[in-house]
């Protein structure tokens, strides 16, 4: 594998730093420039790591591309764009679920992880749903189910002998979704993005790099 692959994670890191600055300054132009650039970095990382050489890699790449679409759709503050972004990310998580299934799963561990995550999900729903407008309850619950399945499958895949990159990447993606929920559905605040965006982009980079193993 060419050493030039590391150019693209560095691109994501630099673009992420500039994106955080744009978020802090509330620069609309900066968000439109640096967020897609940071996303392009993890897509190119996967391609350079050999994503097109295996079914696992192709399905991970599909998830990354859908996530990149979701990133762009979440830049505007309009509800329609947010819902479209939610759908894009939901389909991205579905792609990751398929990818982990293709890689191999320890179903006992995946089931145990799912049960634990359902408990966490119920606690989060009880805390957040009353503060979210009723029209968003259905989409948010559907999304919660899919991200729970995604992380549970990642645990099962790790338990079946897969690289830690898969588990760490999925866990960071899951955590970053909590920051998005707080920022977009409860109260917009830079603090959510200050930790959520690094968690998200690091998670995606780890999943992108997992295709080379």
Q: What is the per-residue pLDDT for 127?
A: 78
Q: Model-level pTM?
A: 0.92
Spatial separation of the C-alpha atoms in residues 72 and 29, rounded to whole Å: 13
Total domains in the chain come to 1
> Which residue range forms the structural domain that includes residue 28?
3-212
C-beta atoms surrounding 62 within 10 Å: 18
pLDDT band for 140, please (50, 70, 90 cuts): confident
**Higher per-residue pLDDT: 2 or 28:** 28
What does the buried/exposed string (b/e) look like for 158-189 if buried means 16 or more CB atoms within 10 Å of the residue's CB? bbeebbebbbbbbbbbbebbbbbbbbbbeeee
Q: What is the pLDDT of residues 20-57, one digit of tens each?
A: 999 999 999 999 999 999 999 999 999 999 999 999 99
pLDDT band for 2, please (50, 70, 90 cuts): low
Residue 3 confidence (pLDDT) above 70 = no
Residue 1 confidence (pLDDT) above 60 = no
Cα first-last separation, the chain: 11
Please calculate the CA angle 26-32-35 and round it to the nearest 5 degrees: 95
Mean pLDDT score of the chain = 92
């Amino acid at each position: 594998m060419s050493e030039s692959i590391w150019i693209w994670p560095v691109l994501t890191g630099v673009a992420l730093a500039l994106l955080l600055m744009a978020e802090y300054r509330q620069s609309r132009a900066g968000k439109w420039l640096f967020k897609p650039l940071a996303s392009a970095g993890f897509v190119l990382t996967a391609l350079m790591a050999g994503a097109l050489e295996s079914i696992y890699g192709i399905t991970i790449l599909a998830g990354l591309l859908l996530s990149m679409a979701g990133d762009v759709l979440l830049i505007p503050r309009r509800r329609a764009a947010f819902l479209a972004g939610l759908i894009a990310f939901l389909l991205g998580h579905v792609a990751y679920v398929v990818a982990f299934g293709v890689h191999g799963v320890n179903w006992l561990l995946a089931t145990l992880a799912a049960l634990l995550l359902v408990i966490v999900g119920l606690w989060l729903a009880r805390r957040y749903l009353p503060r979210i407008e009723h029209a968003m309850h259905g989409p948010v619950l559907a999304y919660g189910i899919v991200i729970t399945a995604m992380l549970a499958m990642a645990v099962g895949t790790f338990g079946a002998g897969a690289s830690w990159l898969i588990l760490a990447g999925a866990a960071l993606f899951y955590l970053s979704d909590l920051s998005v929920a707080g920022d977009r559905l409860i109260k917009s605040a830079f603090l959510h993005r200050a930790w959520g965006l690094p968690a998200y982009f690091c998670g995606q980079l780890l999943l992108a790099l997992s295709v080379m193993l």
